[in-house]
């Protein structure tokens, strides 16, 4: 089965781990900024959106990374048991579209809705318009779908 993995977020000033389930970000575990002594040192956030309903994401705090990790895993178990493959696809698509928009801006390209004609050129060189943009992003700027079936778990 697909397991959770973690990657250090080097952009964050405090120790922060981005937790992944395959290619989907499942949440974060992060050390808090210096607070009053005795306050919990770690916080965690579990779940992703879109691809879930409001209120399904959970968060909490803990005294140690290990405690935060255990609480996160328990929350993920609940969150994951309520997910369908389509939920993961929804998040992947949203993530890919957001990344594409930033790549367009970084390349100095305008999005079709920002042009008078409704047509533009993708940073990859392809001509796009209001009706073809979504299909173009799906076909050219999304990783291939990962096959996974939440019903099949070890």
Residues that bind Zn ion (CB under 5 A): 122, 124, 126, 140
Nearer to Zn ion, 4 or 142 (CB): 142
Q: CB of 124: closest distance to Zn ion in angstroms?
A: 3
Q: Which residue has the tokens 């060189």?
A: 125
What is the C-alpha to C-alpha distance for residues 43 and 30, in angstroms, rounded to an integer? 5
Q: CB of 35: closest distance to Zn ion in angstroms?
A: 45
Helix (H, G, I), strand (E, B) or coil at 49: coil
Q: CB of 141: closest distance to Zn ion in angstroms?
A: 6
Helix (H, G, I), strand (E, B) or coil at 73: helix
Q: CB of 22: closest distance to Zn ion in angstroms?
A: 24
Nearer to Zn ion, 82 or 140 (CB): 140
Q: CA-based angle 104:28:21, to the nearest 5?
A: 80
Q: CB of 151: closest distance to Zn ion in angstroms?
A: 35
Nearer to Zn ion, 26 or 104 (CB): 104
Nearer to Zn ion, 78 or 107 (CB): 107
Among 148, 154, 153, which residue's Cα sits nearest to residue 85? 148
Nearer to Zn ion, 70 or 101 (CB): 101
Q: Are 96 and 143 in contact (CB under 8 A)?
A: yes
Report DSSP state, residue 125: S
């Amino acid at each position: 089965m697909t397991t959770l993995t973690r990657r250090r977020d080097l952009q964050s000033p405090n120790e922060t781990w981005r937790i992944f389930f395959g290619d989907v970000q499942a949440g974060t575990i992060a050390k808090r900024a210096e607070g009053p002594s005795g306050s919990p040192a770690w916080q965690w956030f579990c779940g992703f959106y879109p691809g879930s309903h409001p209120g399904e994401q959970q968060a909490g705090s803990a005294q140690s990374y290990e405690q935060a990790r255990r609480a996160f895993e328990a929350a993920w178990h609940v969150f994951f048991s309520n997910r369908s493959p389509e939920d993961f696809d929804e998040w992947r698509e949203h993530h890919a579209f957001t990344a594409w928009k930033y790549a367009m801006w970084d390349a100095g390209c305008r999005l079709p809705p920002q042009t008078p004609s409704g047509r533009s050129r993708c940073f990859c060189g392809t001509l796009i318009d209001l009706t073809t943009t979504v299909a173009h992003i799906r076909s050219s700027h999304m990783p291939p779908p990962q096959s996974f079936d939440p019903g099949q778990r070890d």
